[in-house]
Structure 1
Amino acid sequence: MKNITTAFLIFLISFCYSQQEVSYQMNTSATKGEALKYSDIQGSPYLNDNFSPAKATCCNEIMPMRYDTYTDEIEYKKEGTVYTLLKESPYTRIEFTNPKLVLTLEDIDHKPGYFIVLADGKNSLLKKITTKIEAPSGNKNPVSFAKKDTNSSFRRDEPVYYVKTEKGTYRLLKNKKDILDLYPDKTAELNSFFDSNKIKFNKEESLIKLISFLNK
């Protein structure tokens, strides 16, 4: 019985992460079957090109991981092979140790995606980074159907910021009104805070300060 239990635990650990190998290719021609590789595109889709030590909080095993902001997937490397992490529970929080970074899987508007946690507590500040492929100048076709062209490049969009309340409500942060509408019972305190602090809603430092105030 002891041997069976041990074998089952080993099985669970080995399948803590998905076994889906990363291809690094996108279909780019419906007729010719050509493929556009990441190496054909200028720039990088990764938040950090290098794999860094990280783990899913559901598991104890630390593995080299990195975040692909184009596919919105987390890759991990095991025994020299790169795989993608299952984008579902229980792998909802990924902690990188060096550099220190936390990614959380959130479902906003029925679109699950990874967000960087900038501030945590009763209220969380979440940062969303997205990357697109920009077609060469003059190319009128969508990139997904464009021929291979080394002039294609990854373009990172401006980040957007969300607050997640202790009730699980999400709100895109664009201006002061977004916060006041979300916390009507704190109108007086927030107005006083805004009067004393120059909060810029496109600056991380300002938003972290705001969320820290809400978490007091």
Structure 2
Amino acid sequence: MKKMYAKISTLAFILSTIFISSQVTTSIVSEAARFNRFMNSVKSAKFGPIPYDEIEGNPFFNKNFLAAKVESATNPIPARYNMFTDSIEMINDGTIYELPKTSAYSKISFIASRENFVYLNHGVEANGYYLLLADGKNRLLKKLKTEFRDAVPALNSFTQATPARFENLPAEYFIQTGENLVKIPRKQNEFYKIFGDNKNEVESFVKKQKLKVNQELDLIRLVQFLNTQ
């Protein structure tokens, strides 16, 4: 009899866990559905709305919806990152929604690729999603951006029309320490200044390890070094 009660209790616990998990996931979708339904087009100043499919280039980090763990949700959610709108999109019953930009859903972890996006709210310029490259007391973040270039009609028979396109911009890198977010300069002579009192220590490590401060893998190594200090 005790074994039977134990099995019933275990089953009840599993079912309640599934129900709660479903509720959390559903609440995210419901919240997104109220405000953030995805518009599959770009408003052109010259030609009106242009569907994504008619625009050259790719605004997505990965066009496919992949299973991702979203903070505050137990169940994985099919999601993708839109670099043009700087938003996490999720799909539910064939409809695409944008994940609400709040601290409650501030980390999105793609399961298969192990890539993590974090949402930061550091003012107008620093507000948005970043790809997390190195974690710890110092975090290395990568900002991805895509811009829309409108179509340009042919001026005459000697020139060709230019179709509308998405254009990927050079990535920007940031170091976050607590609430402090600092953009990494592209020029090496400005690079060491951002480390303040640790300037000499960082410069010594970079030179000893023969790192290039404009290379992503070397920046990861540097931040990992800082996290051991």
TM-score per shorter chain, which class? 0.7 to 0.9
> Could you say what secondary structure the match of 2:217 adopts?
helix
Provide the residue aligned with 1:26 in structure 2.
42
Measure the CA separation in 2 of the matches of 1:110 and 1:134. Answer: 23
- Structure 1 residue 62: Cα displacement: 0.5
- Counterpart CA distance in 1 for 2:216 and 2:23 is 42
More helix by proportion, 1 or 2? 2
1:116 to 128, 131, 143: 131
CA 1:116–1:134: 2 relative to 1, 3 Å = same
Highest CA radius of gyration, 1 or 2? 2
- For 1:29 and 1:160, the matched residues in 2 are separated by 28
CA displacement, residues 27-60 of structure 1 (integer Å, 9 cap, x when unaligned): 3358x8x321101101110000111110212211
- Tell me how far apart the structure 2 counterparts of residues 137 and 105 of structure 1 sit (CA, whole Å): 35
Give the match's secondary structure for 1:190. helix
Once structures 1 and 2 are overlaid, which stretch shifts more, 97-106 or 174-183?
Answer: 174-183
177 and 121 in structure 1: CA distance in 2 versus 1, 3 angstrom threshold: farther
Q: For residue 179 of structure 2, what is the aligned residue in structure 1?
A: 168
Q: Which residue of 2 aligns with 1:15?
A: 27
**Matching residue within 135, 140, 144 for 2:150:** 135
Q: State the structure with bigger RCO (CA 8 A, min sep 6), 1 or 2.
A: 1
The alpha-carbon deviation at position 194 of structure 1 amounts to: 2.2
Q: Gaps (5+ residues) in structure 2?
A: 1-15, 156-160
Judged with a 3 Å threshold, the aligned counterparts in structure 2 of structure 1 residues 80 and 150 are, in CA distance, closer, same or farther, namely farther
For 2:28, give the aligned amino acid: C
How many residue pairs match? The answer is 200
Q: Distance between the aligned counterparts of 1:43 and 1:182, measured in 2?
A: 35
What amino acid is aligned across from residue 220 of structure 2 in structure 1? Answer: I
Structure 1 unpaired stretches of 5+: 141-148
**Aligned residue identity for 1:202:** N
Worse-superposed segment, 56-65 or 131-140: 131-140
**CA deviation after TM superposition for structure 1 residue 65, in Å:** 0.5
Q: TM-score, normalised by structure 2?
A: 0.77
Tell me: CA distance 1:202–1:135, structure 2 relative to 1, closer, same or farther (3 Å).
Answer: farther
Shift of 1:126: 0.3
Aligned to 1:57: 71
Letter in 1 for 2:82: D
